[in-house]
Every structure is written in C-alpha cells, then in structure tokens.
C-alpha cells in the first residue's frame, strides 16, 4: 500500500478548483462534520443566550436571594434537563470542529508520534472514556494538545450534568397566591341607632328590632356564626362579617372593635372577710365608686359610668365597670394577695375593667388583618353596649371559661384573660343589634388566583448558567477558527481533524495491513497493538493527500 496515496473518505480532500479551495469541498461542503459542528455550535449558543435572556426577564428576584418563575416546577426542570442534554450532545458532535480550530490556532501542520499515541487519541475521541482520554494526555507535542481538548470536552459534559443535578436538588415548587378579579360589595355592618337610653332593661338587646336571639348570640360568642366573625388581634376583639363565599385574595368592610383592659383592685377597694359570712368591699369615690358583698352572688358587673341625666343615661367611652368574681379555692395553689379568702372557703376577687369601643374599617389580605378607625359609637349604642356587658348569662359564661386560669394564683394573668373573654361575651351580646350588609361604599373583595412557582437560589442559577453558556461559547469560537485557515490549495486543519475522528480501525489498516498481510483485519487487536507500539509515524498533508511515514522498530520478531 502506498501511504502517500491514502485519502480519507471525506469531502475535504480532493483537487482544487483553482481558487485555493478543494473542488470536493465546494460540492460536499455541508456533509463535513466540521462545518456541521460549527453551524450547530453557534445555533445552540445563540439559542441558549436568547433563552437565558427571556428566562432572566421573566424571573423575579426575591428578598432572600432566590429567583422565582411563575411556572410549574416539573416544566422548569424538564427544560433544564433538555438544555443540558442538547448542549452536551452538540459539543460532543462539535469535537472535530474544535480540534480543527485548535490545529489552526496551534499552527499544527503535522503530527509526529508513535502509532499507540495516535491510536489512543482516536480512541479517546470515539469512546470518551475517562481513563483512555486522560492517559492520552501523557504524550508530547501536538497530539497532547488535541488530547487535552478532548479531555476538556469530557470534563465539561460531566460538570454540566452535575450542575443539572444541583439545579434539580435545590429547586422548590410552591403555589403563589395572586389577586384576580375585584368585585364591589356592601360589607358594612348596620348598627341600630334607635335604642332607648332610659333604662338598662329597655334597650335594643332586650326589646328592639326582634334582635333578642339567644341562639345567634351564642353562635357569635363561640365564633361559629355563618354571617359574623369574632377576631382577636393586638388585644382587641373585632366583630366583622364572614369572608366571601368565593376564595378571596383580599376583602374589606366595616366592623366594631372593643379594646378591653382589666386590673386587680381587691386591695384598693379594701376587700376582706368580716363578721359572719360578710366579705365586703368599698371602692374609693374618687376612682370608680362601688360597694357590695361578694357572698351574695358568684359574680357581678357594676357599670360605674352610666350616669343618669335629666332624661336619659349618659355613657362614657371607655365604659368603666367593677367586676366581682368568686371561685372555688385550689388547696395546692399559692394565691397572691389580690385573692381574698371568704369565711366559707371560696376566693373573692375584684377587677376594674374598661372597654373602649369604636367602629372600624378593615382589610384582610391573605389572612393578614389590618384595621383603621372609622367612627365612634353613638351614646345610644354605647348605652346598649354597657347593658350587653352586664347580661347575666353571657357574663357567667365568660367567668366560667377563665376559671382554670384562677387556679394559677396569678391575679394579673387572671385579669388579662378575663378582659378578653368578657369583651367577647359583650360584643356577642351586642351583635343582637347588628345587621349585616349595610349600605357601605368602597368595600370590595378580590378573588384569589393560585399560580405555581418554581424557586431556585440565585447562586445555583448563576452556576448553572456559567457552566452551560461560557464553555459552549468558547468552543464555538474555537471551532469557528477552523473556517479561516487554508494552506496552498488544502484545508489542512479539516484534513487532520477528520482523520483523527475516523474509526480507530482506520489507523490499524493504514499502518499494518501491508506489512502483516495475513492479518487482513481478522487477527486480534492485542497483536495489532503490540505491532503498532513499535511504529513511529509522521502524519502530514501534502498536496491534498495524507503522507504517513512509519519507521519500524524490531518488526521482524512480530512478523514471524
């Protein structure tokens, strides 16, 4: 076989057309794997840059250095996987073009080295095995440069897969609650204004508008009403309307708020057990004057600010009241000094309580309550509220509901708990004069829309983007260099690169077949490898043809 006449079956080797470009290259240009690699490399690079731009402008930066997309997590991870697989596959297809670019940049016109080294270079390109690719780097000269390029492609493919896995591990999918359509709504409470103020008994709670409804009051107190809701927030008890039937992102309306406070006053009012069953108290006149005997009742609410005027009661805001409590004594509890033991063994306790009442307008967004003052209650409404605060049945419930707190022996803790429960009982009773859906303006509700989001840490997004985009751009630029180098009449970089990217068997056929005719490609590869190890060859291009000049060392002992 004449090595100088060997031509790879490739479009890049043929006679020229007189202009320094091979004729076959003109005819079959698009069939070249190098040209295809250049074109596909730049198509993928530009496509990924465009995709990265649109992904970037669609992403939302969050305060905790995360990036969010309004996309289902499964879709995002699928796109990432597809990008990774396409990029790594295309770069693998670009290896001949990348090698051709390196040959141009390194001004490599021929490759000198043993047949084994050149064989390993071919094997590293074909198999992409980590071991054979790394061992191919332990050579010298131009073959080592080409081996390092193949190694870099292989390592980049591994890094891209690891970045893809890291992206999958750190990505989190969640639902984002967003506002939808907004509808106007008359969410204003209608509070009766025609309540008489001449008697505690003759008021709206007991007499007017057909509002004496124990079932409704109990439902409001237990917060199971279908139309009214009790809400505790920042020490206040709010009476508002139930949320819309549709799932709302936000809604607004008007309501009533009670701000209650209580403090122990047993010592101030000189509460103590005296002769017989008497446990009397007498509060200072300059404060909230009230007197009585706790043994006569288990509880008593004495509203001290309802002052009888010429024709009606005048009630201040806040409402002041003296509250008498009696509880059974727990022998294992150490009670503080505000608890007074009666002759018969029970405990008496006095509280001074206040309730500040006002109308409010509120907005609830995703469960977050925000209220602002709207107006004060009228005197007749405050009068009814004062009557509601002393209603026997509801006050009794409130006292019973905090009885377990009394067993802790802490008077301040008991006063705070009773204040909240008493205000809840008061506003539940007061709800008897409240009707829903009054004539309110500016109130509305906004429907809730759930969108799936994908959340990924910004650092992970940057790592993945750099690993995928930067090497791909570099490889595309290197491969582009392969298009701009011509020797006189021959595209050397293409010829050498495509030669090394042919099957490994090609090298064995070129170097061995003539000298070991009995093989005829049927003998074992180990035998061929032992032979080729003893061949030093120089591969170069001369006038459009490969010229291989093997130098045989101790070949005779293998050919026997």
Cα gap 268→67, rounded to integer Å: 61
Q: What is the pLDDT of residues 437-475, one digit of tens each?
A: 666 666 788 888 888 888 999 999 999 999 999 999 998
Residue 196 falls inside a structural domain: yes
Tell me whether strands 279-282 and 272-273 are parallel, antiparallel or unpaired: antiparallel
Cα gap 49→33, rounded to integer Å: 24
- The range of the structural domain enclosing residue 286 comes to 186-442
3-state secondary structure at position 365: strand
Q: Which of 379, 414, 442 is the last residue of a domain?
A: 442
Cα gap 277→294, rounded to integer Å: 10
Residue 139 falls inside a structural domain: yes
User: In the predicted model, is pLDDT for residue 10 greater than 50?
Assistant: no
Residue 447 falls inside a structural domain: no
Q: Mark whether 199 and 226 lie in a shared domain.
A: yes
Whether the CB-CB separation of 227 and 436 falls below 8 Å is answered with yes
Q: For residue 438, which of 185, 72, 64, 239 has the smallest C-alpha distance? A: 185
Whether the CB-CB separation of 257 and 240 falls below 8 Å is answered with no
Residue 485 falls inside a structural domain: yes
Instruction: Write out the two tokens for 46.
Output: 């530009």
Q: How many structural domains compose the chain? A: 2
Q: Which of 409, 442, 475 is the last residue of a domain?
A: 442
Whether the CB-CB separation of 321 and 390 falls below 8 Å is answered with yes
Cα gap 501→29, rounded to integer Å: 17
Residue 13 falls inside a structural domain: no
Mean pLDDT across 307-328: 84
Q: Mark whether 434 and 541 lie in a shared domain.
A: no
Q: Mark whether 428 and 528 lie in a shared domain.
A: no
Q: Mark whether 397 and 522 lie in a shared domain.
A: no
Which pTM was predicted?
0.59
Cα gap 545→14, rounded to integer Å: 8
Residue 540 falls inside a structural domain: yes
Q: Mark whether 416 and 502 lie in a shared domain.
A: no
What H or E segment, with its residue span, contains residue 145? Answer: helix 142-170
Instruction: Give residue 276's region: left, alpha or beta (phi > 0; psi -120 to 50).
Output: left
Residue 12 falls inside a structural domain: no
Q: What is the pLDDT of residues 529-558, one digit of tens each?
A: 555 555 555 666 555 555 556 554 444 343
The neighbour count for residue 486, using CB atoms within 10 Å, is: 16
Q: Mark whether 228 and 169 lie in a shared domain.
A: no
Mean pLDDT across 146-162: 83
User: In the predicted model, is pLDDT for residue 51 greater than 50?
Assistant: yes
Q: Which of 407, 442, 477 is the last residue of a domain?
A: 442
Burial pattern 465-479, b for ≥16 Cβ within 10 A else e, equals eebbbebbbebbebb
Residue 414 falls inside a structural domain: yes
What's the pLDDT score for residue 181? 82
Q: Mark whether 143 and 234 lie in a shared domain.
A: no
Q: Mark whether 170 and 194 lie in a shared domain.
A: no
Q: Mark whether 538 and 477 lie in a shared domain.
A: yes
Ranges assigned E (strand) in 6-90: 60-61, 66-69
DSSP H stretches of helix in 286-329: none
Q: What share of the chain is helix, strand, coil (3-state, %, to 5)?
A: 40, 25, 30
Q: Mark whether 219 and 367 lie in a shared domain.
A: yes
Q: Mark whether 411 and 520 lie in a shared domain.
A: no
What H or E segment, with its residue span, contains residue 327? Answer: strand 319-327
Q: Mark whether 128 and 198 lie in a shared domain.
A: no
């Amino acid at each position: 076989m004449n090595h100088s006449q060997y031509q790879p079956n490739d479009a890049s080797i043929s006679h020229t057309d007189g202009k320094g470009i091979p004729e076959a290259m003109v005819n079959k240009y698009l069939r070249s794997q190098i040209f295809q690699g250049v074109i596909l490399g730049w198509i993928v690079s530009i496509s990924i840059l465009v995709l990265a731009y649109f992904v970037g402008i669609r992403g939302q930066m969050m305060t905790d250095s995360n990036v969010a997309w309004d996309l289902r997590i499964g879709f995002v991870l699928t796109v990432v996987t597809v990008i990774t697989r396409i990029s790594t596959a295309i770069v693998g297809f670009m290896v001949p073009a990348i090698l051709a670019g390196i040959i141009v940049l390194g001004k490599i016109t021929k490759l000198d080295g043993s047949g084994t080294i050149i064989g390993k270079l071919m094997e590293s390109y074909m198999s992409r095995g980590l071991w054979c690719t790394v061992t191919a780097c332990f050579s010298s000269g131009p073959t080592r440069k080409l081996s390092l390029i193949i190694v870099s492609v292989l390592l980049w493919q591994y890094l891209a897969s690891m970045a893809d896995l890291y992206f999958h591990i750190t990505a989190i999918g969640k639902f984002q609650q967003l506002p939808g359509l907004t509808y106007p709504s008359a969410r204003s409470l209608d509070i009766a204004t025609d309540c008489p103020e001449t008697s505690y008994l003759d008021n709206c709670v007991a007499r007017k508008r057909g509002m004496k409804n124990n079932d409704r009051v109990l439902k409001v107190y237990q917060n199971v009403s279908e139309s009214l809701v009790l809400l505790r927030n920042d020490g206040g008890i709010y009476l508002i309307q139930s949320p819309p039937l549709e799932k709302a992102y936000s809604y607004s309306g008007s309501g009533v708020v009670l701000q209650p406070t209580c403090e122990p006053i047993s010592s101030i009012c000189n509460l103590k057990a005296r002769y017989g069953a008497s446990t009397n108290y007498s509060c200072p006149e300059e404060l909230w004057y009230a007197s009585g005997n706790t043994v006569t009742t288990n509880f008593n609410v004495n509203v001290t600010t309802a002052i009888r005027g010429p024709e009606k009661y005048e009630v201040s805001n806040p409402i002041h009241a003296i509250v008498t409590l009696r509880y059974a004594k727990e022998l294992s509890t150490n009670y503080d000094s505000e608890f007074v033991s009666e002759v018969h063994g029970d405990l008496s306790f006095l509280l001074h309580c206040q309730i500040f009442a006002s109308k409010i307008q509120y907005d609830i967004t995703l469960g977050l309550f925000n209220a602002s003052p709207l107006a004060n209650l009228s005197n007749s409404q405050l009068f009814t509220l004062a009557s509601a605060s002393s209603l026997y049945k509801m006050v009794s419930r409130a006292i019973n509901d905090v009885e377990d707190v009394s067993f802790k022996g802490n008077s301040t803790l008991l006063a705070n708990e009773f204040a909240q429960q008493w205000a809840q009982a008061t506003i539940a009773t007061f709800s008897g004069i409240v009707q829903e859906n009054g004539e309110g303006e500016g109130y509305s509700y906004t429907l809730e829309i759930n969108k799936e989001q994908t959340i990924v840490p910004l650092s992970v997004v940057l790592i993945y983007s750099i690993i995928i985009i930067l090497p791909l751009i570099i490889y595309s630029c290197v491969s582009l260099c392969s298009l701009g180098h011509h020797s006189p009449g021959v595209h050397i970089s293409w010829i050498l690169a495509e030669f090394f990217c042919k099957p490994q068997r090609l090298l064995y056929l070129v170097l061995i077949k003539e000298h070991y005719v009995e093989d005829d490609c049927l003998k074992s590869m180990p035998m061929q490898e032992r032979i080729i190890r003893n061949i030093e060859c120089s591969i170069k291009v001369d006038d459009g043809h490969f010229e291989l000049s093997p130098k045989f060392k101790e070949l005779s002992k293998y050919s026997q």
